[in-house]
Amino acid sequence: MVKSIRIPATIPFPPLLDLWEQQDEKGPDATRIYQFYKNLAEGRFTTTKCKDCGKLLYPPVAVCSECLSENLEWVDIPKVGEVYAFTEVRAGAPLQFQDTVPFIIAIVRFGDYPKNGIQVSGIMFDLSSEEVKIGTKVEWEPLEILGPGEMRRYWYCFKKA
């Protein structure tokens, strides 16, 4: 089952904090990384890899930061990674997460970092700080964001592998 969080209809997001428009290929704020969100909606967690120098780049980009090439391809991020660092949020969580505190924010390394891997920060709902250690194996899973209204968008979260 896909995990989900619901955003109340009565709380407007400031436009700068809401990337919804970027998730629509034809939207007014569409960017060249809209494919990232499209892949997430299809259950794939992906990033860009440079076809010229081979560098794996996260977050996904339109231009390679190593060689400035725009010759990039979308590749799947490995399912399982390893916790590199983490912290527990107990207070001051964003509105949509107030009912889920405490939760973990972790930096997880996927692949052979930094040579042929990436590190990604993300939220973990199902482990407490006592259960997470540096090196704990976790996997990403899709996170469906519901609302406001009928809106539906996609992100990712981590869970114990």
* Interface residue list for Zn ion (CB under 5 A): 50, 52-53, 55, 64, 66-67, 69
Q: What's the CA gap between 64 and 53, in Å, rounded?
A: 9
The rounded distance, in Å, linking the Cα atoms of 155 and 2 is: 11
Closest separation in Å from C-beta 52 to Zn ion: 5
Residue 42's CB: how many other CB atoms inside 10 A?
10
DSSP label at residue 134: T
* Closest distance to Zn ion from the beta carbon of 54 (Å): 7
| Residue 69 or 119 having the CB closest to Zn ion | 69
Kindly state the greatest CA–CA separation across the chain.
Answer: 47
We find the least distance from the C-beta atom of residue 55 to Zn ion, in angstroms, to be 5
Closest CB 82 distance from Zn ion, rounded Å: 25
Query: Encoding tokens for residue 107?
Result: 């930096």
What lies within 8 Å, CB to CB, of 59 at 6+ separation is: 33, 36, 47
